[in-house]
Amino acid sequence: MKAARVSGPGSAAATDQRLALLGGTPVGVPSKPHYPRFTDQARRDIDEVLREGDMVGLGRAHPWIDAAERAIAEWHEVAHCLTTSSGHASLHACLMGLQITGGAEVITTPYTWGASTSPILYNNALPVFADVDPEHGLLDADSVREAIGPRTEAILVTHIYGQPANMTALSKLASDHGLALIEDGSQAHGAKHHGRRIGGFGDAAGFSCMGGKLLATSEAGYLVTNRDDAYWNAVISCQHAGGTEHAGRADEEGFPSDLRPYMDSLHLTYRVSVLNAILLVHQLAKLDEENDNRIQNRAWFVEAIDGVASVSAPEYPDGEPVYHMVSLNFVPGHAGISKPTYLAALQAEGVPAFSYIETPLHRLERLRPGTQAPRTMWADRLARSGMDYSSLELPGCDAKVERSFEMSWNWIDRDQAAMERLASAFIKVEEQLDALRSYERSLG
């Protein structure tokens, strides 16, 4: 790396050199744009539906749900899209659609939010945690291979922070071992691996569309798949049949006759709201442009911190991330301070930096044998399985947790000046590492 810059707008040489943490003046990072941003037409369409009271959407008989599912399937270049009430619901629908249950084992990542693993547990299956690579925190194919056992039925891979996992290697593993492959793209709408959008590599994929995601509504999600059976099996488990004055999923074209006896009221209410279906249509129309702007802003930011040796930015030779968050890796050997102290210094300057994953899933209390946590539907099966996640040694995951920190990246307009201002806070902290080392020593 080059030496850190010591001049320019917002740098320590141009302003108060003291760190804000130590009494100086904060750099003052510009506020992120208002997010999510909805178009005037989206608001008009919602207002029209509210005026008309056309709020019951049980499936594609409602024109907005039909429009959302067709648009999303076309965008992903897959056969089917099933809209859902949340990202959790979409992943649960994937597992139900693929019939991964009855104590089946699903190999997955410990370095993610629990939304990737809780659907496994709640579908009466068992998560098996494999390791991740320490630079990106993405599921490591070699570790997955070692974790495959006689009860393994699926791999569930998370494209965390908008970073695409190595789908070439994971797809081959799944194919070679006859395993289902599920993608969690909740933070990665539009990310690509070798030029191909994630979501279509596996047997099914689930996406979250809550208000903070790349494809943001208020709260929604969707399943995409090329498998007819996965789609229709999911439909009968989490969507309304219809049969009243409102047409439902059983009335849709292509509904399999052999499933008709099972399309009943014993389902989870995972259908999307009509209002969020409207937002999905309009938000999808501008997603590619917003993703491009996020990518360019991240490129400007990384260029501006070249020379800040206390952090490193992951590189992506085989993929194209879309940056729901920007993940950076702290370099304690250079900084000579702890990550909490470094983050405190950045935060005092106005940088909204945080550690997204502070505790990996295999170390959560509710997954420990003998836990005294409130009883859940999966606790007994987990206990009978003999799984002891706390004994796992996953060094790649430990390294990523120890070093990683993140920034939300809802910079959906290109703004090079804002990126340089953000970077100037990193530069200022880099120039004042000696002062931070003294400060940390004084804390004992």
List, for residues 150-206, the tens digit of each pLDDT value. Answer: 999 999 999 999 999 999 999 999 999 999 999 999 999 999 999 999 999 999 999
Q: Per-residue confidence at 16, pLDDT binned at 50, 70, 90?
A: low
Per-residue pLDDT averaged across 36-61, rounded?
Answer: 97
pLDDT in tens, 383-437: 999 999 989 999 999 999 999 999 999 999 999 999 999 999 999 999 999 999 9
Gap between the terminal Cα atoms of the chain: 32
Q: Report the pLDDT value the prediction gives residue 425, as an integer from 0 to 100.
A: 97
Question: Residue 284 is encoded by which pair of tokens?
Answer: 């999808």
**Whole-number average pLDDT of the chain:** 95
Chain-centre distance for alpha carbon 385: 29
Mean pLDDT of 360-375: 94
Q: Provide the β-strand partners of residue 326.
A: 407
DSSP 150-179: TTEEEEEEE-GGGPPP-HHHHHHHHHHHT-
Are the beta carbons of 130 and 166 closer than 8 angstroms? no
Distances (CA, A) of 40 to 36, 46, 199, 283, 321: 13, 10, 29, 12, 29
Calpha distance 116→105 (Å, rounded): 14
Count CB atoms within 10 A of the CB of residue 5.
20
- Is it the case that residue 5 has pLDDT exceeding 70? no
Q: List, in order, residues 6 or more apart from 141 with CB less than 8 Å away.
A: 166, 169, 170, 173
- In this structure, how many other beta carbons lie within 10 angstroms of the beta carbon of residue 51? 8
Distance of alpha carbon 388 from alpha carbon 395, whole angstroms: 17
Exposed/middle/buried for residue 256 (C-beta within 10 Å: 0-12, 13-18, 19+): middle
Nearest to 376 by CA among 153, 151, 118: 118
Q: Which residues contact 352 (CB under 8 A, 6 or more apart)?
A: 29, 32, 407, 408
Bridge partners, 127 (sequence order): 106
Give residue 10's identity as a one-letter amino acid code. Answer: G
pLDDT-derived band at 79 (thresholds 50, 70, 90) equals: very high
Confidence at 8, pLDDT banded by 50, 70, 90: very low
* 213-227, 239-253, 287-301: least confident range: 239-253
Strand order in the sheet with 353-354: 311-312, 325-330, 404-408, 353-354
Q: Which is it for strands 80-84 and 221-225: parallel, antiparallel or unpaired?
A: antiparallel
SS3 content of the chain, % helix, strand, coil (to 5): 40, 15, 45
Sequential DSSP letters for 407-424: EE----S--HHHHHHHHH
Alpha-carbon gap, residue 54 to 49, rounded angstroms: 6
Q: Which of 410, 423, 422 is nearest to 32 (CA)?
A: 410
3-class DSSP state of 277:
helix
Q: Which sign, positive or negative, has the C-alpha torsion 283, 286, 292, 297?
A: negative
Q: In terms of residues, how long is the chain?
A: 444
Phi, then psi, of 298 in degrees rounded to 5: -65, -40
Higher pLDDT, residue 321 or 3: 321
pLDDT of residue 32: 77
Amino acid (one-letter) located at 411: W
Q: How confident is the model at residue 4 (pLDDT cuts 50, 70, 90)?
A: very low
* Complete domains list, the chain, with CATH: 20-34+287-361+369-442 (3.90.1150.10), 40-286 (3.40.640.10)
By C-alpha distance, which of 202, 238, 219, 259 is closest to 92?
Answer: 238
Q: Which helix (H) or strand (E) holds 311?
A: strand 311-312
